[in-house]
Structure 1
Amino acid sequence: MSTALHMRPDPTFYPSARLAMEAKAETIGYVALLSKDNTKPDALAVVDLDPTSSRFGTVLNKLVLPYIGDELHHYGWSACSASLCPTSGHAFSERRYLVVPGIRSSRIYIIDTKPDPRTPKIAKIIEPEELKRKTGYSRPHTVHCGPEGVYISTLGGKGIAGDESPAGVFILDCDSFEIRGQWEIDRGDQFAHYDFWWNMPHDYMVSSEWGLPPLFENGVVPEALMSGKYGHKLHFWDLRGRRHIQSIDLGANHQMALEIRPAHEPTKDYGFLGVVIDNTNLEGSIWTWWREGGKFHAKKTAIIPPEPADPELLPDMLKPFGAVPPLITDIDLSLDDRFLYVACWGTGELRQYDVSDPMAPKHTGSVRAGGIAARKPHASGAPFHGGPQMLEISRDGKRIYFTNSLYSTWDTQFYPSDVPGQMVMCHVDDAGGLRLDPEFRIEFGADYGAHQVRLEGGDCSTESFCFASV
């Protein structure tokens, strides 16, 4: 697909996290829009993030996909700073294509952002039959650009329900976009899957668990939640050997171990995990994992409690509890590894933690918008639906963008009054703390929910580095 005729690396490939922070700021963002009722195709919105532009904070374009029922989720670039690793065979690839999976359809779109990044076009479609035939996987979810190709995690295995065999990771060629096959040589006790990331110079990968498709496609299954059937393990892998080396069980009460955020600095051997809910008390938690003495360890380092609420303001599932769980659905780490941001989709709060000491996160800031019971308006005074959900941090760490939709069936379950898609921005103070921009608020319309955000030139939730900052 890519001509790969460049004689120098893409200037948006950064050797180190610090150099990425010093690069030119983003002027364009891409936002995944999903049909809330599955009656029309999903879309990819192009938004103006240039504060000097007359169209700042508006939708510049919208690429509507050709099929119904994809449910776009976590997509990413086909090539990024990982291409500069000494082991890479793709140092002259471009940050040009977005790899966009649909987790309901198991279809994958390759979106070309050139020659005009404001008018992306579909370059290739990988149909679900090809994915299943070549990998045995279904429900592709998270995309990470690696040194030798595109890694894509899946939430389902074989069978109509996707639960007849393990979910896992497969590799996509970053130039031809041909599927190579399953990544794992030995998966150990790993069966369910969700997020994954790595430390490439230290040659290991970390993965987490959500649950097999019957546990999430039609909404949360309360009986499964209370009986500990959702994912609650971390898995560690030999990255180059593609072998499972260790698992850590967080305890069956810690349900839905989701987003993984390793330190961006490759000399650091630690990272963070967000756990959605403790089924014994409704709290959410942040865990720090690290490697010491040749073994990996994990510890709960921050707790976010539920908030009492009038049962009349709650959806049926939460009425018996008289409280709203935070529902930690995303976390993101700034490129300098200083601030961890935590999206509490249930309570409508975005929290900032100083994680300079990764074993003792300090709560340093908070903004509120939406929430199941709080229903806090945006700083502009306009209604904000849902709550802070998918996060993206600017490379310089000064801006946080977030959207409000989790997953179509979960949106309906937790926010039955509707979650039309929105995107807002926070400013980060140098000493810590954050504040919502009252002027920046993008409405995507009643037909769409808004999910993943990707930034021109790379972002904090996918970029990997192989060289230490100076």
Structure 2
Amino acid sequence: MRTDPTFYPSPKLAMEAPRETYGYVVNLCTDGSMPDALSVVDLDPRSGAYGQVVHQVRMPNIGDELHHFGWNACSSVLSPMGGHPFVERRFLVIPGIRSSRIYIVDTKPHPTQSRIVKIIEPEEVMRKTGYSRPHTVHCGPDGIYISCLGGKGANGDETPAGIFIMDCESFEILGPWEMDHGDQRLSYDFWWHLSQNVAMTSEWGTPRQYENGIIPEDLLSNKYGHRLHFWDLSKRRLKQTIDLGPSHQMALEVRPAHEPNRDYGFLGVVVNTENLNGEIWLWYREDANVGDDFKVKKIIDIPAESADPADLPDLLKGFAAVPPTVTDIDLSLDDKFLYVACWGTGELRQYNVSDPHNPHLAGSVHLGGIVRRTPHPSGNPFHGAPQMLEISRDGRRIYFTNSLYSTWDDQFYPESGMPGVQVLVHADPNGGLRLDPDFYVTFEDGYRAHQIRLEGGDCSTDSFCYSSV
């Protein structure tokens, strides 16, 4: 027995590791004609099947809406406090956000032989955790953490949403993570500063506010989430909550710095209802040696683009503008570049955040978009816009797909049907982006494409326990 070679002590060592040769993409079917699926894509340029789907795992149920999935284990198990030194990065934990069902998929002995080995039904999730609508999966040093967007009750809003823990070897649900919720009720993303014993969680809305599409009245009344929570990771108690202000609606993705001795990170805000801008906020400590309190400040404003109402979906006609709609962000392993998906305007932005307090735009590409509808450089159409991002460990490649959430797809892009596509962007180490004209992955008719995971780990999977030298 030995430690899995895809577990890396530091971000620098992960960046020096071999490149990815396979990727995993979840596909969802919105009309109920097929079950959702996991597709395996060949990412090895030396392969004759490069850029093609080489395997597919179909789920046995209809209507799961597979969403943010993750590995059973990652580099965080190398923590001196970890209890699973010989576990493998082998299983994918795939939640259905609409069904509350969870699938465990074994990727060994080879990605093209991936198969379902366990199914956890929604009744078990609720019985053992009190949560519903499982959303984000993170592998920690002591188990698998899964955030949920709903609590108890038919509408999932009778009790707070939160996080539960699953054993990373048996996949048994252990129970809810929180010992004290404080006044936290909404949930979305979460991550941590492992070495500083701090976890962060963000907010979207109640299931009523997203399952059937965005509710314009709730958005304009600032009723979606706009707070960032900081927790004592070991005591599992809420320590600090920062309210960004009611107009900063849907504070979603959290991306802490990868270097374990850094105590800052980035938060994406979908829209500011005062001006329709998209935003990036920074959390930080002024003096890490004094107290535990964090501060936040807005560091990036992305303006809305004016548009002819005739070119807009019904949801946006009254604004005569397209909001950037920041739906995903991702941070390279060297903490140098932050990538921002603007799902409304059809833009992928690259910011140099080497100085996190003073970022600057380093690169940009356009693809799709509500009004622009920029085609792929191959000449193929691209419906939707850059949405789920995944960065290679060496920071040279950014893969992205186009679907956000089924009902939201239909509101923002009502005429497209959102056929699933995955594309590739090349990143210059000094800044700058270029779409690959030859990499254009399509999925089976009827399937949309969402989260991506890379063989051996990626920039939104791993947590590192040792500083780079």
TM-score of the alignment, normalized to the shorter chain, above 0.5: yes
Say whether 1:219 aligns with 2:213.
yes
Give the alignment of 1:111-190 within 5 angstroms: 111-190=105-184
In structure 2, what residue type is equivalent to 1:464?
S
CA distance in 2, matches of 1:36, 1:13: 36
Q: Which residue in 2 is equivalent to 1:335?
A: 333
In structure 1, what residue type is equivalent to 2:308?
D
Q: Which residue in 2 is equivalent to 1:396?
A: 394
In structure 2, what residue type is equivalent to 1:51?
P
Contact kept? 1:37, 1:408, Cα under 8 Å: no
Q: Which residue in 2 is equivalent to 1:344?
A: 342
Q: Which residue in 2 is equivalent to 1:437?
A: 436
CA deviation after TM superposition for structure 1 residue 188, in Å: 1.1
Residue from 338, 351, 371 that aligns with 1:373: 371
- SS of residue in 2 equivalent to 1:192: coil
Q: 1:200-228: per-residue Cα shift (whole Å, max 9, x none)? A: 11100011000010000000000000001
Residue from 356, 359, 364 that aligns with 1:358: 356
CA distance in 1, matches of 2:255, 2:121: 30
Q: Which residue in 2 is equivalent to 1:41?
A: 35
Q: Which residue in 2 is equivalent to 1:423?
A: 422
CA deviation after TM superposition for structure 1 residue 446, in Å: 3.2
CA distance in 1, matches of 2:466, 2:246: 37
CA distance in 2, matches of 1:171, 1:148: 9
Q: 1:120-153: per-residue Cα shift (whole Å, max 9, x none)? A: 1001000000000000000000000000000000
- SS of residue in 2 equivalent to 1:19: helix
Cα distance, 1:314–1:445 mapped onto 2, change above 3 Å: farther
Q: TM-score, normalised by structure 2?
A: 0.98
CA deviation after TM superposition for structure 1 residue 15, in Å: 0.3
In structure 2, what residue type is equivalent to 1:436?
L
CA distance in 1, matches of 2:307, 2:47: 42
CA deviation after TM superposition for structure 1 residue 39, in Å: 3.2
CA deviation after TM superposition for structure 1 residue 36, in Å: 2.5
- SS of residue in 2 equivalent to 1:118: helix
Moved more, 115-124 or 238-247: 115-124
In structure 1, what residue type is equivalent to 2:396?
K
Q: 1:207-257: per-residue Cα shift (whole Å, max 9, x none)? A: 100001000000000000000110000000000110100000000100000
Say whether 1:283 aligns with 2:277.
yes
CA deviation after TM superposition for structure 1 residue 379, in Å: 1.3
Contact kept? 1:154, 1:194, Cα under 8 Å: yes
Between the two proteins, what is the percent identity of the paired residues?
67
CA deviation after TM superposition for structure 1 residue 370, in Å: 0.3
Residue from 306, 309, 312 that aligns with 1:311: 309
Q: Which residue in 2 is equivalent to 1:13?
A: 7
Q: 1:144-203: per-residue Cα shift (whole Å, max 9, x none)? A: 000000000000000111111100000000010000000000111110000000011110
Give the alignment of 1:251-262 within 5 angstroms: 251-262=245-256
Q: Which runs of 5+ in 1 are unaligned?
A: 1-6
- Equivalenced residue count is 464
Q: Which residue in 1 is equivalent to 2:454?
A: 455
List structure 1 segments (4+ residues) > 4 angstroms apart after TM superposition: none
CA distance in 2, matches of 1:281, 1:463: 35
CA distance in 2, matches of 1:392, 1:35: 22
In structure 2, what residue type is equivalent to 1:31?
V
Root-mean-square deviation over aligned CA pairs: 0.7
Contact kept? 2:199, 2:230, Cα under 8 Å: yes
CA distance in 2, matches of 1:446, 1:209: 33
Contact kept? 1:385, 1:404, Cα under 8 Å: yes
CA distance in 2, matches of 1:445, 1:146: 34
